[in-house]
Structure 1
């Protein structure tokens, strides 16, 4: 698995766990720990995604509204 996919999955899982713990009224220190760690997890995820070695073949002009042919740019 690629590193950026792990980062996105991990941060998404942490968010789901955080929301679930709030709804279940679990120990408040655990909720605060996840709340304080959240911004750092998001920054780590963003950094990992931005430095991922992905080669983009299409340009923005070629991919403008792929799912809506009526909204594609015509020049």
Structure 2
């Protein structure tokens, strides 16, 4: 597994824990800690995804709609 996928999984897991703690109305200091750390976690996730070593070989015109061939752009 690549590093950016791990980061996305960790931040998503923390979000699920955060929402669960809010619904159960327990551990208020932990809820506040996650709430205050949230923007930094999102920035960490965005940074790791944007700096991931992935090369894209297709252009936007070639990959307009991959799952619906009838909506692909026609070449002039």
Instruction: State the number of aligned residues.
Output: 75
Counterpart CA distance in 2 for 1:26 and 1:58 is: 48
Gaps of 5+ in 1: none
CA RMSD of aligned residues (A): 0.8
| Residue aligning to 2:13 | 13
SS in 2 for 1:73: coil
The TM-score with structure 2 as length reference comes to 0.93
- Per-residue CA distance 1:12-66 (angstroms, 9 max, x = gap): 0000000000011112111000001011000000000101100111111110011
1:32 alignment counterpart: 32
Runs (5+) with no aligned partner, structure 2: none
Task: Could you list the structure 1 runs, at least 4 aligned residues long, displaced by more than 4 angstroms after superposition.
Answer: none
Higher relative contact order (CA 8 A, sep 6+): 1
